[in-house]
Amino acid sequence: MSKEKFIILESTCIPLPVENVDTDQIIPARFLTATTRQGFGENLFRDWRYLKDGISVNNTFILNNPSFSGKILVTGKNFGCGSSREHAVWAIYDYGFRVVISSFFADIFMNNAINNGLLPVRIPEQNLQNLIHLVQKDPQTNVRVNLEAQTLEIPATGEIIGFEINRFKKECLINGFNDIDYLINARNKIVEYEAKKGLTA
Amino acid sequence: MKAKTLFDKIWDDHVVYSIEDGPDILYIDQHYIHEVTSPQAFNGLEERGIPVFRPSRTLATADHNIPTKDQHLPIKDELSRLQVEKLTENCRKHNIRLFGLNHPDNGIVHVIGPELGFTKPGMTIVCGDSHTSTHGAFGTIAFGIGTSEVEMVLASQCLLQTKPMTMRITVNGDLNKGVTSKDIIMYIIAKLSSGGATGYFVEYCGNTIEKLSMEARMTICNMSIEMGARGGLIAPDNITFEYLKEHSKKVKQSDWESTVQQWKNLKSDAGVKFKREISITASEIKPMITFGTNPGMAIPVDGFIPGSGEMDDKGGDASFIKSLDYMGFKPGEQISGHTVDYVFLGSCTNGRIEDFRAFASIVKGRQKAPGITALLVPGSKKVEEQVKKEGLLKILNNAGFELRQPGCSSCLAMNEDKIPAGKYAVSTSNRNFEGRQGPGARTLLASPLTAAAAAITGKITNPVELMNN
């Protein structure tokens, strides 16, 4: 699957100040029976979006609050922990998010996100708390994510926060490349390695 | 030569190529797949029109969504059935060995890999499942991956990976009565928190770990991911080699001895520095149970529910309160004596024969509490057979329990084995997330001994109270 190129994104944000959000919350296991990557967005945060009966909309959940919209999810630390299910990333992306901001991400989630063109932006805890409060107070707060410069700019406050990303992964995101293309092109090296190690195919 | 950790030795041996300022191309010796996280990967290959690069290095099983009753009948849920059929079709098309539903070696991927002798020391192992860390018990680098990465392994037998940092957790001393390897790892996770080892690969060592059986070691490595670690591993020793000898097929004695000699080099060099070191005294550990909605929220079974300020880094106040609300618990409350509705014995964490032996040792000669619904699910067909062969089934039946057929079952409740909303389940699985065992279900993670004690008394009970001698 070819990815959209990611360079700069400016958007309002949706705040979800919960810590340790696991992938079972992002997409519950009972929705994992599909055999394609499409359509997971409608079940994103399914059990938080709906009340216990599974049908009535939970008006207190942030995704159901019409004041908040945007392509950036701002959320508590250790986001995406638990199951390795890539369906979690597919659900977030399919719903319309392109960036998730947190103070740290679970490892597998972070790889899955980048492999699908969803940018995980890691910022210090204090900056995260400030951003969450800012967005909660004014849902119109814009955030500009510049992958090239590795910065997150908040025009309302003039704040500019830098973030780290592996250079190789950054290039992949900017150019819309996939790891898989790289690996397929590296097959000669892989075959050489197998021969050197005496591995049988 | 520079001293190296076991992790570094195995990693470095599998680097095909290091990209400057980027990740390594890491060769994968063994790839396991299952029905839930593989179909989109095969679709990807087909869209590209490329074959599986090394089909003999991938093994498949159906485990996540399958029923644990009447497995000879077609799967009732249409989407689950289609997913299992898709796996069968993909394996046939790409010449991949499948231990599917009703195969005599079928079972949970992390139970059958070691059981059938495929997992071996020094290997790199991946699977589209976070509990792949289980295989680290054999001195392997084993970790969970996403579906895009499953596709990469199918296409190239490699992954692009950035080397994680290394952490060593040393456990020394004798264990208290009623304390199992499940309690050791739950204690460690509670100490580090559910994100405390993110970015690390953990090596477990110390004389407590060295005395554990392979199955007990698998339980420890299995839950490494629950503190955020990419994986966990234990250096192979004579206990490992004995297990492998029993579970490997057709090995010549002479070949075996030279292989074991090589495996003996798989250990961290003396004096090597780890990025982080943690030391634990075994006698501090008591039988553990979770009270919240992440595996870091655990206390001793004889303990009290803490307040948000009393635990380090278990999530901010709001997250902590949300968690206790979900569980219906209050700070200061004693956890033992609390009513339990369901008991689940099974999963890749605790669905092996030793877990069934432990459970049976408590329920033997007793009766299941009337209010308890129990789901006893073996991790594989082989475990199921062994439960019958050893006479454990008779003990379980006499105590009022029935045995299910193998699968992941209630651990993630993809099939019909769901815990109803609001009900409390003492579960030997690995995750107590909201809704993990069914929408609204309240999970209390514990060892097979503690699960058995709950099944007999109908309450959260310290298993020591029910243990003989």
Summarised one tens digit per residue, pLDDT across range A115-168 is 999 999 999 999 999 999 999 999 999 999 999 999 999 999 999 999 999 999
Whether residue A186 and residue B195 make contact (CB cut-off 8 A), yes or no, is no
pLDDT of residue A39: 94
Query: What is the chain B residue with the closest CA to A109?
Result: B146
Cβ neighbours for B139, distance < 8 A, ≥ 6 positions apart = B6, B10, B121, B122, B233, B234, B235, B236, B240, B263, B266
Does residue B420 contact residue B438 with C-beta atoms inside 8 Å?
yes
Chain B contact present for A189, CB below 8 A: yes
Element (H, E) at A133: helix A125-137
Cβ–Cβ under 8 Å, residues B410 and B344: yes
Q: Measured between beta carbons, which residues in chain A are less than 8 angstroms from residue B318?
A: 17-18
What is the spatial distance between Cα A47 and Cα A57, in angstroms, rounded to a whole number?
Answer: 10
User: Does A2 map to a domain?
Assistant: no
Contact A82 B56 (CB under 8 A): no
Mean pLDDT by 10 residues, chain B (469 residues): 95 96 96 97 96 98 97 95 97 98 97 97 98 98 98 98 97 98 98 96 98 98 98 98 90 86 97 98 98 97 89 68 96 97 98 98 98 98 98 98 98 96 98 97 98 98 90
Contact B24, A167 (CB under 8 A): no
Q: How many domains does chain A have?
A: 1
Q: For residue A179, which residues of chain B lie inside 8 Å, CB to CB?
A: 148-149, 152, 159-160
Rounded CA gap, B60 and B187, in Å?
33
Interchain contact B325–A (C-beta under 8 A): no
Fold of B6-161: Aconitase; domain 3 (3.30.499)
Judged on CB neighbours under 10 Å (0-12, 13-18, 19+), A36 is exposed
- Whether B270 and chain A come into contact, CB under 8 Å, resolves to no
pLDDT tens for residues A76-123?
999 999 999 999 999 999 999 999 999 999 999 999 999 999 999 999
Put simply, whether B56 touches A (Cβ < 8 Å) is yes
pLDDT of residue A137: 97
State pLDDT tens for residues A53-65.
Answer: 989 999 999 999 9
Among candidates A6, A5, A9, A39, which has minimal Cα distance to A145? A9
**DSSP states along B113-149:** HHHTT---TT-EEEESSGGGGGGGGGS-EEEE--HHH
Return the pLDDT at B148.
97
Q: With an 8 Å Cβ cutoff, are A19 and B77 in contact? A: no
| CATH number of residue A109's parent domain | 3.20.19.10
Q: Which of A20, A36, A111 sits opposite B319 (nearest CB)?
A: A20
* Whether B223 contacts A109, CB under 8 Å: no
| Partners of residue A22 in chain B, C-beta under 8 Å | 294, 431, 433
For A33, the closest of B79, B151, B195 (CB atoms) is B79
CB contact under 8 A, A186 and B318: no
Answer whether residue A1 is part of any domain: no
ipTM: 0.96
pLDDT (0 to 100) of residue A6: 83
- Choose among A84, A189, A201: nearest Cβ to B130: A84
Q: Is there a contact between B194 and A20 if contact means CB atoms under 8 Å apart?
A: yes
Are B23 and B288 in contact, with CB atoms under 8 Å apart?
Answer: no
| pLDDT, position B400 | 98
Q: How far apart are CA A14 and CA A102, in angstroms?
A: 12
A86 contacts B37? CB cut-off 8 A: yes
Contacts of A136 in chain B (CB under 8 A): none
Q: Do residue B80 and residue A33 have CB atoms under 8 angstroms apart?
A: yes
The pLDDT value recorded for residue B251 is 74
**Burial of B2 by CB count in 10 Å (0-12 exposed, 13-18 middle, 19+ buried)?**
exposed
What distance lies between CA A181 and its chain's CA centroid? 22
Q: Do B387 and B395 touch, CB atoms closer than 8 A?
A: no
Nearest CA distance, A111 vs chain B (angstrom):
8
Residue A185 touches partner B, C-beta closer than 8 Å: no
Find the closest chain A residue to B438 by CA distance.
Answer: A30
Does B163 touch chain A if contact means CB atoms closer than 8 Å?
no
Say if the Cβ atoms of B37 and A182 lie within 8 Å.
no
Q: Which pair of tokens denotes residue B387?
A: 């439960």
Question: Which residue from B minimizes the CA distance to A111?
Answer: B146
**The domain at B289-466 falls in which architecture?**
2-Layer Sandwich (3.30)
Looking at the DSSP assignment, which residues form a beta bridge with residue A152?
Answer: A145, A161
Q: Which residue of A has its CA nearest to B77?
A: A33
- φ and ψ at residue A3, rounded to 5 degrees: -100, 155
In A, residues 66-105, which contact B (CB 8 Å cutoff)? 76-78, 81-87, 89, 104-105
Q: In angstroms, what separates the C-alpha of A74 from chain B's closest C-alpha?
A: 15
What confidence score (pLDDT) does residue B309 get? Answer: 72
Give the C-alpha distances (Å, rounded to integers) separating B256 from B117, B248, B408.
Answer: 13, 10, 33
In a domain, A3, yes or no: no
Structure confidence at residue B249 (pLDDT): 75
Give the residue on B whose Cα is nearest the Cα of A29: B414
Instruction: List chain B domain ranges.
Output: 6-161, 165-236+262-284, 289-466
Quick one: pLDDT at residue A1? 46
- Range of the structural domain that residue A68 is part of: 8-197
Terminal CA-CA length for chain B: 52
For residues B227 and B248, give the distance between their C-alpha atoms in angstroms, rounded to a whole number. 32
Check for a shared fold between B165-236+262-284 and B289-466: no
CB contact under 8 A, B195 and A78: yes
State which CATH number among 3.40.220.10, 3.40.1790.10, 3.40.190.10, 3.40.1060.10 fits the domain covering B165-236+262-284: 3.40.1060.10
What is the enclosing helix (H) or strand (E) of B15?
strand B15-18
Contact A187 B50 (CB under 8 A): no
**Does residue A176 lie within any of the structural domains?**
yes
- Look at residues B354, B121, B117 and name the one whose alpha carbon lies nearest to residue B237: B121
Query: How far B39 CA lies from chain A's nearest CA (Å)?
Result: 5
User: Is B337 an interface residue toward A (CB < 8 Å)?
Assistant: no
Residue of B nearest to A18 (CA): B319
- The string of pLDDT tens digits covering residues A191-200 is 999 999 999 7
Q: What is the mean pLDDT of residues A166-185?
A: 92
